[in-house]
């Protein structure tokens, strides 16, 4: 089962070399057939030049520049329309995600034969390092609202780092979110449409370089829009979008 890893990158020239080297070395050491797909989201720094320099060092690296429209959601979607693997993970460029966790996701998908694997940073075995307190409060509140409204037993929907089979990605199209709200659109659609999933603990580490691209003040209404869309689909679509056997 070939693994694709989609990484959106906007002005990540400082972070991305360490991220890609660590990811490649880990997947290679576990002998996992893979590609690392980076979407350079029209970066204004020298992210593209850094990627070009890493190509000879990391033979599984594939990258393209998304000339527009730009934004986190568009960058991820750009990769999700072009990856070549049998399954695909969304992975962050800022070293916040642990490659060893991705290996666990991959092995869990193989062993349990599920359509998706989600991480949980907040449950038993999960870990966060240097997570800003105000963001933690907002995160926990947002996930509580999602969990309650959607009546699901999962409390880390907003984390982008998840693994999906190719058939699952095809089944949750068309994509609606141009921004960080894609992080809840993908798992909620998968759950609502009847795709199977497993939850495993994972870790998160705050970035060393640059600044976060997530602007909380700008995202509230966008998250709410996607949440309401998934809520309406779950209770009023009469199963029209359910997974087909």
Tell me: cis bond preceding 174? Omega within 30 of 0 counts: yes
CA distance 113 to 110: 5
Residues whose CB is less than 8 angstroms from the CB of residue 119 and which lie 6 or more positions away in sequence, other chains included: 101, 105, 126, 156, 159, 161, 162, 199, 200, 201, 202
Residues whose CB is less than 8 angstroms from the CB of residue 197 and which lie 6 or more positions away in sequence, other chains included: 114, 115, 116, 117, 118, 187, 190, 191
Which domains are delineated in the chain? 3-236 (3.90.550.10)
Mean pLDDT calculated for residue range 110-131: 95
Pull the structure tokens for residue 139: 């995160």
The per-residue pLDDT for 244 is 83
Decide if pLDDT at 192 tops 60: yes
Q: For 193-215, what is each residue's pLDDT tens digit?
A: 999 999 999 999 997 766 655 55
Give percent of the chain with pLDDT exceeding 70: 96
Which of 36-40, 111-115, 239-243 is predicted with the least confidence, judged by mean pLDDT? 239-243
Decide if pLDDT at 218 tops 90: no
The per-residue pLDDT for 208 is 76
Which helix (H) or strand (E) element contains residue 20? helix 16-29
Q: For 84-107, what is each residue's pLDDT tens digit?
A: 999 999 999 999 999 999 999 999
Which of 3-12, 116-125, 126-135, 178-187 is predicted with the least confidence, judged by mean pLDDT? 126-135
């Amino acid at each position: 089962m070939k693994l694709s890893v989609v990484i959106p990158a906007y002005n990540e020239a400082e972070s991305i070399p360490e991220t890609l080297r660590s990811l490649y070395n880990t997947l290679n050491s576990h002998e996992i057939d893979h590609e690392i797909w980076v979407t350079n989201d029209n970066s204004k720094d020298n992210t593209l030049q850094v990627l070009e320099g890493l190509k000879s060092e990391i033979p599984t690296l594939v990258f393209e520049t998304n000339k527009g429209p730009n934004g986190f959601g568009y960058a991820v979607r750009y990769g999700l329309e072009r990856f070549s693997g049998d399954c695909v993970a969304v992975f962050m460029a800022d070293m916040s995600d642990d490659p060893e966790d991705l290996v666990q996701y991959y092995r869990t998908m193989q062993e349990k034969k599920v359509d998706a694997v989600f991480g949980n940073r907040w449950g038993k075995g999960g870990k966060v390092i240097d997570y800003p307190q105000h963001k933690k409060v907002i995160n926990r509140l947002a996930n509580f609202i999602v969990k309650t409204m959607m009546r699901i037993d999962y409390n880390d929907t907003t984390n982008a780092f998840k693994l999906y089979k190719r058939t699952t990605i095809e089944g949750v199209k068309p994509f609606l979110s141009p921004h960080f709200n894609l992080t809840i659109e993908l798992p909620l659609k998968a759950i609502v449409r009847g795709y199977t999933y497993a939850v495993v603990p994972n870790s998160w580490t705050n970035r060393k370089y640059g600044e976060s691209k997530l602007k909380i003040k700008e995202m509230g209404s966008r998250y709410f829009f996607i949440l309401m869309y998934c809520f309406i689909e779950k209770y009023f679509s009469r199963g029209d979008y359910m997974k087909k056997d």
